[in-house]
């Protein structure tokens, strides 16, 4: 769940609804940037950007839950996250995106290099769509964070966009 501009109260209300949907479909529910909100919602975990709460502090807040860390295009950040016992490492942006302006660009080389350092799941982020996702999976991405292609697609409804990824 990623809502940058909503109040904490609104995020909690929406998060409560999203959690129920995730539970019904047996999907993990992660809260972006806010470990305290993740705890309050009893989410499965959270995702931390480099400007969010440090990983060790987030662990104290939410306990033994999933905590992923954005590593941008940096093996140095990946090594820090590995040492801090992150649950997964996220890299990107791999492609241009209208969802979020990419401050960091990366290539599949980062996934290959990171895969040599750890068995942690690697997540690819940024501009992923039906034309480019396979190459990420073929180059060591374990998961794909896909947002704009599904929710802001002018050509396909969300369910149809997802079917194009299968």
Task: Return the pLDDT at 103.
Answer: 79
- How confident is the model over 79-118, as pLDDT tens digits? 999 999 999 999 999 998 777 677 789 999 999 999 999 9
The full set of domains in the chain, from first to last, is 8-163 (3.20.20.70)
pTM as predicted:
0.93
What is the spatial distance between Cα 126 and Cα 94, in angstroms, rounded to a whole number? 5
Q: Is residue 59 exposed (0-12), middle (13-18) or buried (19+ Cβ within 10 Å)?
A: middle
The mean-pLDDT minimum among 22-36, 89-103, 123-137 falls in 89-103
Do residues 82 and 89 touch, judged by C-beta distance below 8 A? yes
Average pLDDT over residues 128-150: 96
- How confident is the model over 52-78, as pLDDT tens digits? 999 999 999 999 999 999 999 999 999
């Amino acid at each position: 769940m990623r809502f940058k501009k909503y109040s904490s109260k609104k995020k909690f209300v929406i998060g409560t609804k999203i959690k129920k949907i995730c539970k019904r479909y047996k999907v993990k529910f992660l809260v972006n940037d806010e470990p305290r909100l993740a705890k309050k919602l009893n989410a499965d975990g959270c995702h931390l950007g480099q400007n969010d709460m440090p990983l060790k502090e987030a662990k104290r807040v939410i306990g033994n839950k999933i905590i992923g860390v954005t590593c941008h295009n940096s093996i140095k950040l990946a090594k820090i996250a590995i040492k801090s016992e992150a649950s997964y490492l996220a890299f990107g942006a791999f492609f241009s995106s209208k969802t979020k302006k990419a401050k960091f660009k990366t290539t599949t080389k980062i996934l290959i290099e990171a895969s040599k350092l750890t068995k942690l799941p690697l997540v690819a982020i940024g501009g992923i769509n039906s034309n480019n996702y396979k190459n990420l999976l073929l180059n060591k991405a374990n998961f794909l964070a896909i947002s704009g292609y599904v929710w802001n697609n002018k050509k396909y409804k969300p369910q149809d966009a997802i079917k194009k990824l299968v």
